[in-house]
Amino acid sequence: MKTAKENGCTTILNPAPASEISNEFYNNIDFFTPNETEAEFYTGIKITNDQEAKQAADKLINLGIKKVIITLGEKGLFYSDGKEEIYLKASAVKAIDTTGAGDAFNGSLAFSLLKEKPIKDCLEFANKVAGISTTKLGAGDAMPFIQDIK
């Protein structure tokens, strides 16, 4: 992460599974994408509503992380960069298997960021892709194709 930052790369860390991170490491993270359980591990804040998600995101930003996206499963996601906050509800899908949904979210987030889309558009796209990925069994086989995203 440090080398990536030194070379001008945007960094995304999905801390799954959650594990200890040294304090100086936080400064190298542009996008931190924990789910609510992982966010609780890093902040000590149990997330059951929007306000608790905001408190956890604020705490993570105060550690030096630039942007926090806490994925909330069927409740959606909460984004904060310390100034702008966005809450998105989860895509309305009939979930069958959530295996790989975090990978789908992070991969599609990176894809959208590469396209230099506004952050809300990136979050909406990643949210849709992750939702669609839960409608099939498995991980790799459940990943949607670009034409599946409407």
69 is written with which tokens?
């996206």
Spatial neighbors of 30 by CB under 8 A, at least 6 apart, are 5, 10, 11, 12, 65, 66, 67
Tell me whether residue 103 is one of the annotated catalytic residues: yes
Active-site annotation holder among 103, 121, 141, 148: 103
Among 57, 99, 96, 58, residue whose Cα is nearest residue 77: 57
**Residues 78, 49: contact at Cβ < 8 Å?**
no
Catalytic residues: 103
